[in-house]
Copies of this chain bind each other. A is one copy, B any other.
């Protein structure tokens, strides 16, 4: 369900993807930061310890990891692309107030439609938006609504 760093390394080896230093560090970052980071977040955090890191490299590596099936692209909003270690059976909830993205479990098998009976479905995404409990309680306390 929640793949470990070692399992992911093994999966990449099986696909003949060379585990370079930068690739391992990006993979490690994604395992340790399951907060659906943007390229900018990944790059700026890793650059602190890999001073020569290039943002192009981060883009290249993410592309390879996505193609290898170990990382998933999340496009809840059109203006920010996020990346997530591939995990089965979950949806994403984005809080309109604080911007946090939460994972939630959902039974994808229930997600069927007669309209798609002749379609080959390879990828299911569920994105919700709204207000998270923490922001809800803040709003109730202050009695004012924070902007979107």
- Could you list which residues of chain A lie within 8 angstroms of chain B, going by C-beta atoms? 73, 75-78, 81, 91, 93, 96, 102-106, 110-116, 118-133, 136
Do A130 and B120 touch (CB < 8 A)?
yes
Copies in the complex: 2
Do B111 and A122 touch (CB < 8 A)?
no
**Given A75-B77, A78-B75, A122 and B129 touching (CB < 8 A)?**
yes
State the majority secondary structure of interface residues on A: strand
Do B123 and A126 touch (CB < 8 A)?
no
Distance of A78 from chain B, by nearest CB (Å): 4
Q: Which among A75, A105, A119 has the greatest number of chain B C-beta atoms within 10 A?
A: A119
Question: Complex formed: what's the CA distance from A5 to B118 in Å?
Answer: 32
Do A119 and B113 touch (CB < 8 A)?
no
Do A128 and B118 touch (CB < 8 A)?
no
**Given A75-B77, A78-B81, A128 and B120 touching (CB < 8 A)?**
no
Distance of A63 from chain B, by nearest CB (Å): 12
